[in-house]
């Protein structure tokens, strides 16, 4: 059995990018693997957060995890800050990393761009992400494409520590999907769909009403050519919508092109609205049942206990290898 680990930040409404890039992979992996799915609240505070909102968003993400099909009896679902070993190993891996490699991360460059000053956590964040993954001897990390560079750094750190101190960590692999790995903003297909974009019409959140989904898709930026053809470079708008269509329908891009030969964008978009609304409806219905049940918090406590038991074993090994603490 392989070990799987992934995390989502409790920083706002989970959108189609998060879902089709990462979350959609989570339930299918739990059949044949031992999975840990984490709500990474310590990552969220790399930028300022309102404490009340953060607490609420932690439970929102937990409920969505279960609503998309994660079974907390099979997988371990937990909150990062409830297992103190994340922060502990995070520090050790900060010490194992160089400032140069952290300054090179494109996410750091993007988030610090044009700002006079940013929090240090924004720079050291990939070492904490590496700690999340390496703590559990993870083999597979299902994520969106934007995390590729962070997974590479995690691998580099694992290999570096193993070379210096002897075999300490498992070297993990990222798992990226074809259609959903990089969903772009609906109003600007050159930018990643994001929780933080100002324009609500740039994204579809998993809990959006059908009327909002319809509006956002019908208004989505396309081009003047009018043919449903995949060409990310020259036709990024329609290509992005085709990726979403493919992810929800399971159809290949070639089949979608064939199906819409001779049709305009209007027909395609109408069908995409239906596919998206139908695809998200069961998640939304399930979410409402879970979010305010007492069971949810109990599940998270239990998850943290199970995660902590694994993490403590790794930490014992790490302290030993690094020469930390007493004999």
Which residues are the active-site residues? 111, 192, 195
DSSP annotation of 68 reads T
Task: At 187, list the tokens.
Answer: 């109003």
Residues in binding contact with ligand LTN, number by CB under 6 A: 13
- Distances 118 to 57, 91, 186, 244 between C-alpha atoms, Å: 23, 19, 28, 34
Interface with ligand ATP includes 25 (CB under 6 A)?
Answer: no
Binding test (CB under 6 A) with ligand LTN, winner from 40, 64, 207, 310: 40
Distance CA 251, CA 272 (A): 12
Name the strands in the sheet holding 33-39, side by side, starting at the edge strand that comes first in the sequence: 76-79, 33-39, 2-8, 140-142, 173-175
Interface with ligand LTN includes 208 (CB under 6 A)?
Answer: no
Site for ligand LTN in 140-169 (CB under 6 A): 141, 143, 147, 150
Task: At 255, list the tokens.
Answer: 């089949």
107: Cβ contacts below 8 Å, ≥ 6 apart: 125, 126, 146, 149, 150
Binding test (CB under 6 A) with ligand LTN, winner from 14, 62, 133, 216: 133
220 binds, among ligand ATP, ligand LTN, none (CB under 5 to 8 A by kind): none
Interface with ligand LTN includes 123 (CB under 6 A)?
Answer: no
Compute the Cα dihedral for 64, 304, 71, 129 and give only its sign. positive
- Distances 274 to 6, 35, 194, 211, 278 between C-alpha atoms, Å: 30, 32, 22, 11, 6
5 binds, among ligand ATP, ligand LTN, none (CB under 5 to 8 A by kind): ligand LTN
Task: At 287, list the tokens.
Answer: 């979410």
Q: Closest distance between ligand ATP and the C-beta of residue 313, in Å? A: 26
Q: Which stretch binds ligand ATP (CB under 6 A): 16-24, 158-166, 272-280, 293-301?
A: 16-24
* Residue number with CB closer to ligand LTN (58 or 228): 58
Using the structure block, give the residue that is written with the tokens 């943290």: 304
* Residue number with CB closer to ligand LTN (93 or 141): 141
- Chain residues that interact with ligand LTN, rule: CB under 6 A: 5-7, 9, 40, 43, 129, 132-133, 141, 143, 147, 150
- Chain residues that interact with ligand ATP, rule: CB under 6 A: 8-9, 11, 17-18, 21-22, 143-144, 146-147, 180-183, 192-196
């Amino acid at each position: 059995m392989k070990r799987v680990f992934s995390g989502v930040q409790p920083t706002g409404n989970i959108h189609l990018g998060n879902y089709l890039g990462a979350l959609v992979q989570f339930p299918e992996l739990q059949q044949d693997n031992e999975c840990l799915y984490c709500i990474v609240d310590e990552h969220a505070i790399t930028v300022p957060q309102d404490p009340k909102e953060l607490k609420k968003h932690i439970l929102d993400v937990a409920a969505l995890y279960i609503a998309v099909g994660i079974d907390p009896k099979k997988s371990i679902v937990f909150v990062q800050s409830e297992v103190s070993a994340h922060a502990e190993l995070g520090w050790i891996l900060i010490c194992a990393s160089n400032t140069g490699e952290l300054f090179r991360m494109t996410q750091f460059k993007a988030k610090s761009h044009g700002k006079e000053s940013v929090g240090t956590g924004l720079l050291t964040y990939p070492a904490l992400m590496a700690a999340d993954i390496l703590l559990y001897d993870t083999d597979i990390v299902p994520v969106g494409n934007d995390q590729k560079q962070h997974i590479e750094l995690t691998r580099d750190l694992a290999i570096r520590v193993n070379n210096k101190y002897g075999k300490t960590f498992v070297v993990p692999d990222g798992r990226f999907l074809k259609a959903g790995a990089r969903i772009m903003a609906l109003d600007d297909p050159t930018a990643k769909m994001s929780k933080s974009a100002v324009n609500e019409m740039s994204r579809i959140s998993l809990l959006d009403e059908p009327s909002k989904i319809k509006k956002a898709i019908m208004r989505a930026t396309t081009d003047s050519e009018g043919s449903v053809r995949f060409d990310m470079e020259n036709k990024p708008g329609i290509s992005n919508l085709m990726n979403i269509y493919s992810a929800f329908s399971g159809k290949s891009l070639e089949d979608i092109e064939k199906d819409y030969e001779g049709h305009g964008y209007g027909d395609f978009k109408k069908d995409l609205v239906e596919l998206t609304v139908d695809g998200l409806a069961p998640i939304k219905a399930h979410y409402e049942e879970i979010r305010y049940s007492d069971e949810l918090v109990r599940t998270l406590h239990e998850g943290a206990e199970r995660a902590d038991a694994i993490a403590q074993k790794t930490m014992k090994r790490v302290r030993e290898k690094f020469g930390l603490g007493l004999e």
